Amino acid sequence: MAEFDNDYLEWKAWDDQAFCVLTAEQARYFEAELGRSGALDLPPGARVLEIGFGQGCFLTFAQSRQWQVTGAEVNPHLVSMGQARGLDVHGAQDLSAWPDESFDLVVAFDVLEHVPQAEALGFLRDVMRVLKPGARPVLRFPNGDSPFGLMHQNADVTHVNAIGRGKVMFWAQALKADVLALHGQAQPVLGVGPVLAVYRLAVWPVRKLLNLFVRVFFLGGAPIDFSAANVVAVLRKRADA
């Protein structure tokens, strides 16, 4: 597809040299995000699927945890890079290649906004299908409930779906899934370098006050993380779903 051609990869700075490079800051983010979602304690050998693995940094993180990680990606150039490194990665427009209840965890960082709205429920239904009972998907996307999410939402020509709390709650109800978390992405302080750590510590109370003000005076108390540019949704597949 033209939207995923070499120009797109060049713009994203996703090249062979940077592929699968995991920085200390990225590793700390994944630890924090999966830690608060309850997925970090998966044992070695757990089966993990990343949808839209992009530059491959999470694949490297998952390998560092000794998980059995599989990657799915629509971009053929990225799939070729992964296969050249011996990774279990596949070109896939959907999850039909994997049987029911195959994975202990599914992650999709910055993927759902690429899925057309009319196809999003079907996509999520497929995600829940390949999860084992009680397992969960971790989904990150630009915050459609806040102007702070517009920079990420509108910065990529392949983004076609803006997502807020209302859509997530509807999808969860339709999927018969529990919403375990729906909040701004993790902002770890330890292990990210002194400059970023100081910045996040200084901004934290401002974010809290802004969230409280907007919720009370504009949103009727709705639990929306207004100050977050990206939001993470964690669902749980019900055993009877």
Which residues 6+ apart lie within 8 Å of 95 measured at CB?
49, 51, 72, 126, 127, 129, 130
Q: What is the pTM of this model?
A: 0.94
pLDDT 10s digits, 143-201: 999 999 999 999 999 999 999 999 999 999 999 999 999 999 999 999 999 999 999 99
Query: What sign has the CA pseudo-torsion 212, 216, 218, 224?
Result: positive
- DSSP code, position 112: G
Indicate the CATH number for domain 2-188+223-237. 3.40.50.150
List the structure tokens of 123. 């996509």
Give 3-state DSSP helix, strand, coil % of the chain, rounded to 5. Answer: 40, 20, 35
Q: What pLDDT score was predicted for residue 237?
A: 81
Q: State the Cα–Cα distance between residues 21 and 176, nearest whole angstrom.
A: 37
Cα dihedral 60, 63, 68, 71 in deg (nearest 10): 0
Round the CA-based radius of gyration of the chain to a whole number and report it: 18
**Pairing verdict, β 103-109 and 47-51:** parallel
pLDDT digits (tens, 9 = 90+) for 27-45: 999 999 999 999 999 999 9
Residue 4 binned pLDDT confidence (cut-offs 50, 70, 90): low
How do residues 193-205 score in pLDDT, each as one tens digit?
Answer: 999 999 999 999 9
- Strands of 68-73's sheet, edge to edge? 89-91, 68-73, 47-51, 103-109, 131-142, 230-237, 177-184
pLDDT at 5 over 80: no
pLDDT of residue 2: 47
Strands 68-73 and 89-91: parallel
What pLDDT, on a 0 to 100 scale, did the predictor assign at position 133? 92
